[in-house]
């Protein structure tokens, strides 16, 4: 039996919070554990007890206080009425170990990019249907990014200096290598020599260095792929 995915919602629209509560209650794979109007409220309050028939089978982790780990996935409204900074909200939630799915009323391109750079794992507008939201939550819980048309569009037209312009072959080698392939395997898949593949990878690193976002390890490269949603298109 698949484990339940715990979900928390941070949104200052009470009607939306109540609506999501009703929506998610009908999804057996997900369990809503908390709702809040602000990140401070979410992180400062313990999660409510789950009904017996929806209890999470996983034993609690004694090393992680409940208030510090609100959920596997947090649905976080982009702009809250308390005036909090979206990037700071994202970082605060990420520090608890939760993954963050941003939700917003508008597909603002610059704000989408800022959210992803701050560490958000996905971005959806609020006009999506329940199956799309559930699929995004499941992707995040499985360690993947939650891709959407809004995110793909924003990344495709992101021309900020912090986002290096990669050639198709540089991007190909980066994606394969950062996904866990060895450089030899990435080179073989691209039909080039290992030496040539290393040249492409070195160019990628140099471009990120020049953009002020140095990448020294494979983990750094994987992080840049997530930040720039290079695997979204």
Contact 113, 154 (CB under 8 A): yes
The whole-angstrom separation of Cα 134 and Cα 223 is: 24
Is the domain of 45 the same as that of 80? yes
Question: Is 233 part of any domain?
Answer: no
pLDDT of residue 143: 81
pLDDT of residue 147: 66
**CB crowding 108-130: b at 16 or more within 10 Å, else e:** bbebbbbbbbbbbbbbbbbeeee
Tell which of 128, 156, 184 closes a domain.
Answer: 156
User: What residue numbers bound the domain in which 93 lies?
Assistant: 5-156
Backbone phi, psi, residue 8, to 5°: -125, 150
pLDDT of residue 52: 44
The whole-angstrom separation of Cα 103 and Cα 126 is: 6
Instruction: Report, in this order, helix, strand and coil percent for the chain, each rounded to 5.
Output: 45, 10, 40
Confidence of residue 50 (pLDDT cuts 50, 70, 90): very low
Is the domain of 150 the same as that of 38? yes
CATH number of domain containing 180: 1.10.10.10
pLDDT digits (tens, 9 = 90+) for 151-193: 655 555 555 666 778 888 888 999 899 888 999 999 999 999 9
- Which 8-state DSSP code applies to residue 50? P
More confident residue, 101 or 69: 101
Is the domain of 139 the same as that of 175? no
CATH number of domain containing 23: 3.40.50.2300
Question: Is pLDDT above 50 for 53?
Answer: no
Give the long-range contacts of residues 87-96, CB within 8 A, separation 24 or more.
Answer: 87/114, 87/115, 87/117, 87/118, 89/10, 89/39, 90/115, 90/118, 90/119, 90/120, 91/118, 91/119, 92/39, 92/43, 93/10, 93/39, 93/42, 93/43, 94/119, 96/43, 96/68, 96/69, 96/70
Is the domain of 124 the same as that of 27? yes
Confidence of residue 35 (pLDDT cuts 50, 70, 90): very high
Tell which of 112, 132, 156 closes a domain.
Answer: 156
């Amino acid at each position: 039996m698949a484990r339940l995915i715990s979900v928390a919602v941070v949104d200052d629209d009470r009607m939306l919070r109540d609506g999501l509560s009703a929506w998610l209650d009908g999804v057996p794979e997900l369990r809503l554990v908390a709702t809040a109007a602000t990140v401070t409220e979410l992180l400062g309050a313990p999660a409510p007890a789950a009904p017996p028939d929806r209890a999470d089978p996983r034993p609690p982790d004694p090393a992680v206080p409940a208030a510090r780990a609100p959920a596997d996935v947090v649905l976080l409204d982009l702009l809250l009425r308390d005036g909090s900074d979206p990037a700071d909200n994202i970082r605060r939630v990420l520090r608890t170990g939760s993954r963050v799915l941003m939700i917003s009323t508008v597909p603002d391109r610059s704000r989408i990019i800022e959210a992803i750079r701050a560490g958000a794992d996905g971005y959806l507008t609020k006009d999506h249907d329940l199956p799309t939201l559930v699929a995004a939550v499941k992707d995040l819980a499985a360690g993947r990014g939650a891709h959407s048309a809004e995110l793909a569009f924003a990344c495709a037209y992101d021309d900020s200096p912090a986002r290096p312009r990669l050639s198709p072959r540089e991007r190909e080698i980066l994606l394969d290598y950062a996904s866990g392939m060895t450089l030899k395997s990435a080179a073989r898949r691209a039909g080039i020599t290992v030496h040539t593949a290393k040249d492409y990878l070195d160019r990628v690193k140099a471009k990120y260095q020049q953009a002020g976002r140095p990448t020294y390890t494979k983990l750094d490269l994987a992080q840049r792929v997530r930040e720039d949603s290079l695997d979204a298109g």
